[in-house]
A and B are shown apart, each in its own frame.
Chain A
């Protein structure tokens, strides 16, 4: 990716990359509890058939995966393993939190052994509420994630800047930067930078259905 190292990424090329990325997502299934069955129904059942969306379930390892679907109750005993697998995934990576337990603790909100919200451990892009959510809800979450990937500015992301959409970057280049848009520095040269890429600031997460995450 020499183009990116030079700090410039033409917009048509970004779009091409983004479309390719969004329709060849390898999902790592982190099935923990009840939601894993609904995830299995979405991924393996002929009725829901996630492959028509360009998502390929069952990679052999998290190191091949593009996004992880955490479905089910995360307990305090399990949380270090979730964190470790997230760290093994290569960038660019995304996370979907499926079900109330992974979102916020769900029916075990006052339990002594349940982690109340996987977002305390890993950054979440899409929340799918429900206990458990129907397979259709998970499919909608995946479609929303694909829309986010399609609009993402890869150059800004690989330089470690906060999440930026292509439209916001273009508006900044034209000098129409409004107060709400965050673009970051675009002159930053990553090839000469000795520092590792900082953990990028995650954007506002998407919630399927638009309601609260419970």
Chain B
């Protein structure tokens, strides 16, 4: 147990004392609380077993596997183009973002690269799926604290983004649009103008949400100083994405790695926050939604002319080799380790999903918190259950 915050250390000692029945001031009895696996407000199934002492959690353990669908095994019996259909559904809120690292890994093995036009459109769709993902998080956040209005706002404005994705790809939820060597189709007529209007609406949604939710006194008192994760603990547990940046670590794969996506064309900022508490994690995501809107608005003016597909054989056979590509997905770092033996399908795919690592910190961060804070901490960590279990 290295480098705990003072508050957590105190509560940890207190809980230990209570467990040893030394607390004579108020005799409390231990109790095991089972949370989950299903709750009407969630989309997915995660079970948490918490050992309580009064109102305080002294031990908590997540039980994953209720959504395990066997992706890594299923990819072994699919061909390369068929795999994208499956992996859309890992993180179901940002579907397009799931396809990109796998396609990039396959392209790396085949030693081809998508044309510049396809790369820019990929980046735009990537950011649109991030906006669709995080806007639902911003709405869902209110529900966890009993505020119902933000979820209506989020679903209202999320529909605009889904309509855009549907207009470009044909799929409202699971686009399955990325191909090895490019994209399936070009953008439809009038899509760029419509996207510009929607992005302005979404920036308005962020302002509205900031005033309504983040400025709310109850929200702040339930979020500030709760669930603090210091930077070194966050690194030890392999957190990524906004959870890591909220602990003050300036790390964003979109900026920090040289990848075949056009983030360098846009002028944007990686937000960090020094606090590392629940509020910081939510605030970082709000700022990132704004930044994504800005990235999309800038890239829309810079889409180059040209083809959207390089020359690839009709039947795709990926040469023998191994490749690992990871990108900054809405939830954090998502990577695919693809091993090919020269056949039609991958020999083995290892999926590094962000939520699994982000969830692994729950036993540490839930130790010593109070029961109502469990919900807000889990909400602020923001994992998607399909992304945990795969």
A binds B: yes
Which residues of A are at the interface with B, using a C-beta cutoff of 8 A?
28-34, 36-38, 40-41, 44-47, 58, 72-73, 75, 77-78, 81, 85, 107-108, 110-114, 131-132, 134
B367 at the interface (CB under 8 A from A): no
Q: Could you jot down 25 A-B contacts, CB within 8 Å?
A: A32-B43, A32-B45, A33-B44, A34-B92, A34-B173, A36-B42, A41-B155, A41-B159, A44-B152, A44-B155, A45-B155, A46-B155, A46-B156, A58-B40, A75-B65, A77-B65, A77-B66, A77-B68, A78-B66, A81-B37, A81-B38, A110-B77, A111-B73, A113-B70, A114-B70
Assembly CA distance A77 to B70 (angstroms): 13
**Nearest Cβ distance between residue A102 and chain B, in whole angstroms?**
13
Across the A-B interface, how many residue pairs have beta carbons closer than 8 Å?
Answer: 98
Query: Does B174 sit at the interface, judged by CB under 8 A?
Result: yes
B residues 15-68 in Cβ contact with A at 8 Å: 37-38, 40-45, 65-68
Contact present for B69 and A114 (CB under 8 Å): yes
Residue ID in chain A nearest B64 by CB atoms: A77
Note all chain A residues with C-beta closer than 8 A to B45: 32, 78
Q: Which residues of A contact B37 (CB under 8 A)?
A: 78, 81
Give the docked Cα–Cα distance between A153 and B246 (Å).
59
Q: Within 8 Å CB of B386, what residues of A?
A: 33-34
Chain A neighbourhood of B85, CB < 8 A: 107
CA distance A111 to B69 in the complex (A): 7
- Given A46-B155, A81-B37, A81-B38, A132-B70 contact (CB < 8 Å): no
Decide: A134 near B70, CB < 8 A? Known: A32-B45, A37-B43, A41-B155.
Answer: no
Instruction: State whether B172 touches A134 (Cβ < 8 A).
Output: yes
**Which of A32, A46, A112 lies in contact with B70, CB distance below 8 A?**
A112
Residues of chain B at interface, number, CB under 8 A: 34
B203 within 8 Å of A (CB atoms): no
The answer on a CB contact under 8 Å between B151 and A44 is yes
B89 within 8 A of A: yes
Please list the 7 inter-chain residue pairs (A to B) with the smallest Cβ-Cβ separation, ordered nearest first. Answer: A36-B43, A45-B155, A34-B92, A111-B70, A31-B43, A29-B40, A78-B66
- Tell whether B265 is near chain A: CB-to-CB under 8 Å: no
B93 at the interface (CB under 8 A from A): yes
A32 touches B38 (CB 8 A): yes
Which B residues are in CB contact (< 8 Å) with A114?
A: 69-70
In the assembled complex, the CB of A72 is this many whole angstroms from the nearest CB of chain B, namely: 8
Shortest C-beta distance, B125 to chain A (Å), equals: 18
Instruction: From known contacts A38-B173, A77-B66, A81-B38, infer whether A112 and B73 are also in contact, taking CB-CB under 8 Å.
Output: yes
Q: Name the residue of chain B whose CB is nearest to the CB of A133.
A: B173
A75 & B66 in contact (Cβ 8 Å cutoff):
yes
For B152, list chain A residues within 8 Å (CB).
Answer: 44-46
Q: How near does chain B come to A26, taking the closest CB pair, in angstroms?
A: 12
Q: Which of A38, A46, A75, A112 has the most CB of B within 10 A?
A: A75
Q: Which of B41, B73, B155, B156 has the most CB of A within 10 A?
A: B155
Q: A31 touching B69 by the CB < 8 A rule?
A: no
- Contact A33–B38 (Cβ < 8 Å): no
Interface string of B129-161 (1 = CB under 8 A from A): 000000010000000000000011001101100
* B266 on interface, CB distance cutoff 8 Å: no
CB contacts (< 8 Å) of B70 on chain A: these are 108, 111-114
- Distance in Å from the Cβ of B205 to the closest Cβ of chain A? 13
Q: Hey, which chain B residues are within 8 Å of A112, CB to CB?
A: 70, 73
With A107-B85, A111-B70 as given contacts, are A31 and B151 in contact (CB-CB < 8 Å)? no
* Most interface-central of A30, A45, A46, A58 (chain B CB within 10 A): A45
B268 CB to nearest chain A CB (Å): 27
Q: A113 contacts which of B43, B68, B155 (Cβ < 8 Å)? A: B68
A131 vs B89: C-alpha distance when bound (angstroms):
10
In the complex, which of the residues B43, B89, B156 has the most CB atoms of chain A within 10 Å of its own CB atom? B43
